[in-house]
Structure 1
């Protein structure tokens, strides 16, 4: 790097005597090309390079720069000087970045940005993020809305995109109108229920927290948008968990005085008796718990916690007459579940894509 040199030239006294009294010791200029000559009392002069110029003033001075490439990458040519672009904007005369902003020197330029934890206009001012900033502007797709969420992997706040009521799909890319509004079961046929804006068979694996509502050897049918479980003829037990061969299936069941095998009622307290037959074709009573009740119909049926979702807290739903978490097994692999108005809403987390009902996968996979 060249250093600006200021040199004092002493004019020899022998020469002064030969100069007229009014002679200017700086004329002709005893300094180098482009250098300034300044008289310093009597016969002394100072040689120095002008501001923004460099070199040996006794030999030659030249501008520090005339174009950007004359300066190092981290500096900028302003006038004839190489200047830190983060300390001075040639147009405004002040630092180019705003309050709390970060300034980076890249190829002779100042690049302004807000820190990761801040937002705002980096040329004016940056401020700390609030949860409200996560959804402004809305990062979600069509027919979706944004809510502030939390990333379990990074530990940071992040936006979560959810489908609008009555819509289904991926909230990040966009949602489409569903068959029904979640939990508005009356919008579906009697033997179907509304789940995630879709009419589904309540006897399927999705409706009861990801598992079948009834035992594997039980009968299931959709009734009033619910799964109704019953044991086949000749079997007994709680049809939700297990049906087993009835202990009395090998003997004939007598008829009551009214001619019906259900009179008097042979079933447990609050249970319903229905005439049926066992696997040999013999007549027998079939005991079941009525809608809204649960238990062993041969012993006793008790009223469940609920009959409708509205009888449960907002974050729970009525499954098999019990208030349960509707997110239990409701969403696919790597997806996230949020309960709204008793219903599960599935979405792929940030950095993932796919169908949240089946599986989400990393958007960065090769």
Structure 2
């Protein structure tokens, strides 16, 4: 089948293969062609147009102008966007260019380049570029940002759920209920005045928790990607999946390996503090802080020798030796204070020998650590471990 195409006084006979090329109008192939300004560009534009519809052969009646399919002895016999291959003028792309590349022809020569977002050798194949970590911890980030998956990002809404607001203090997201709502901002706030279904967890099945007067699945929306959630006696525990580690509430990564457990502070009706050792999970300081709030308490504060002794006794009861347990003590602003209460450390201190030493200039959180025969004592540690 032949089609005669006229382009500004240049008559071209086109020989096409069987079947209707995709996108070609019944009245010709002008759908792919655009108006051009000068003689040479018109022919080149026509060439591209014809290539798009799988033209087998083109013969131009215009003297001294050769394009696809014409006989040749060398590149000089062909248009500059063609190459003399096997004695025929042919379009050389993609030719030597391999996967994830682009190909352009200049003066008969095909040039290969990697597509945007890819790098490598375009003649053997380009690979997707691996992003470089912007940060490994919160230190290089603005105080209103946190290091999440190697990038300084806004940690809000992060652990905050329905009907809440989120603010960031020294890289840490804190949640609160919106006006007119109350409850636990880390599991979701409820409109005030709703009818209570429960008063405490004892009114609910062991796999549910009493949240704002309702028996609910405490795992719902709590854990991040690459994490699982299990409920033990009303308490949800997020853990990173096998091969991942980190903060199971914000995001588990496959690099850092955390080793800390956390200490939850609670208040009895009498006003006396109680402590509970969270022994099922190992998280960094920020995840420990959020975890304790989510589970009805606060990351531990120590305000007296009696409270310090009580914590040590609770750790001793677990039978765990040579591990590390977070408290809410931090010196992120330069002075040591309890993050859970905002109060400074008491005159009483229980630092281990030669502590705090701020090793590497990055130890800003307070833990209980069994370093030697002295038993569990205070130690400063990187908040991201």
Hey, which of these two has a bigger chunk of helix by percent? Answer: 2
With the shorter chain as reference, the TM-score category is under 0.3
Instruction: Specify the structure having the higher radius of gyration (Cα).
Output: 1
TM-score (normalised: structure 1): 0.26
TM-score (normalised: structure 2): 0.25
